[in-house]
Amino acid sequence: MKVIQSTGNTTVKNWKKLQTRKGRNQQGKYLLEGWHLVREALTAGEKISEIMVTSTAFAQIDLQADLPQEAALFEISEEVAQKLSATPSPQGIFATVIIDENASLRPDQATGAWLFLDTVQDPGNVGTMVRTADAAGFAGVVLSHGSVDFYQPKLVRSMQGSQFHIQISQGDLSEWTAAFQANSYPVFGSELNEKARSYDKVGRHENFALVMGNEGNGLSSKMLQQTSLNLYIPLKGKAESLNVAVAAGIMMFALKA
């Protein structure tokens, strides 16, 4: 086990760079923090590159269960843990996970219920929607290329490990929509438009996609035309709209068979 005391260490600086998209792209991995997420990654058989623990956290490790052979183990100081952490009182355990782009399904292979996210920007919203898709029994989530990426730190926290339970993929939503329609799976858009169909009037489905749009602008007109049918949630009060993650949750639980 290597020991790293200094926050100025090059390896620590490289871990810190995983908080940026550029760093993740260059190194091909992302950072997990905390017992819950690290254990979920291990249980799911993710490709773990490094595990970093403080001496306090090391005492709580089950060496057999918690350490895959291929992962490099580092003992880090409390200062290094503080530098890597997003919280004021870190649990003292981190891991880096290899991002495996080839693990993604091709659109024509997908079955089950899918959530498509069209240029959604807020990482907390995206992460919450992945978590909700998992809870609703969805097979996967596809993020359009113009959105954030799945491994942004706040997004990873919001997913709470759901990336290990369901498929997540970044791709071209037009291509995904066309592939679903070629398989006769409906693709439901969501629209703030009272002339659209009410979300609770289309029944429940096994194989389908639901598309949610950008927080401010909703779905692009291109997507609204490409979808099989556009749905809306009738609003009864004076609020002009719902938070996108709340709207997605209401629709996912209503549409999934």
Binding site for a copy of itself (CB under 8 A): 124, 128, 131-138, 158, 160-162, 165-166, 233, 235-243, 245-247, 249-250, 253, 256
Q: Cβ of residue 68: shortest distance to a copy of itself, in angstroms?
A: 20
Give which of 190, 194, 187 is closest to 214, Cα–Cα: 190
55 versus 198: smaller Cβ distance to a copy of itself: 198
Chain position carrying tokens 């969501």: 190
Of the chain, the end-to-end C-alpha distance in Å amounts to: 49
> Min. distance of Cβ 125 from a copy of itself in angstroms?
10
* Strands 140-144 and 167-171, bridge-based pairing: parallel
* Residue 159 Cβ vs a copy of itself, minimum distance, rounded to whole Å: 9
Parallel, antiparallel or unpaired: strands 197-198 and 229-232: parallel
What minimum distance in Å lies between the beta carbon of 161 and a copy of itself? 8
* CB closer to a copy of itself, 166 vs 173: 166
Q: Which is nearer to a copy of itself, 47 or 256 (CB)?
A: 256
* Residues 84 and 12 sit within 8 Å (Cβ to Cβ): yes
| Angstrom distance (rounded) from CA 158 to CA 120 | 14
Answer whether 13's CB lies under 8 Å from 66's CB: no
What own/partner pairs with CB < 8 Å and gap ≥ 24 does 149-152 have?
Answer: 149/21, 149/24, 150/126, 151/18, 151/24, 151/30, 151/99, 152/21, 152/123
Q: Given the complex with a copy of itself, which of 46 and 134 has the nearer CB atom? A: 134
- Given the complex with a copy of itself, which of 132 and 230 has the nearer CB atom? 132
- For a copy of itself, the closer of residues 120 and 233 by Cβ is 233
Structure tokens at 184: 């006769």
Sequence-ordered list of residues with C-beta below 8 angstroms from that of 16, at least 6 positions apart, any chain: 23, 83, 84
DSSP bridge pairs for 3: 75
Q: Please report how close the Cβ of residue 201 comes to a copy of itself at its closest, in angstroms.
A: 14
Q: How far is the CB of 221 from a copy of itself (least distance, A)?
A: 24
Minimum distance between the CB of residue 228 and a copy of itself, rounded to whole angstroms? 23
The DSSP annotation for 140-207 comes to EEEEETTS--TT-HHHHHHHTTGGGTSEEEEE-HHHHHHHHHHTT--EEEE-S-TTSEEGGGS--BSS
Of the pair 90, 177, the CB lying nearest a copy of itself is at: 90
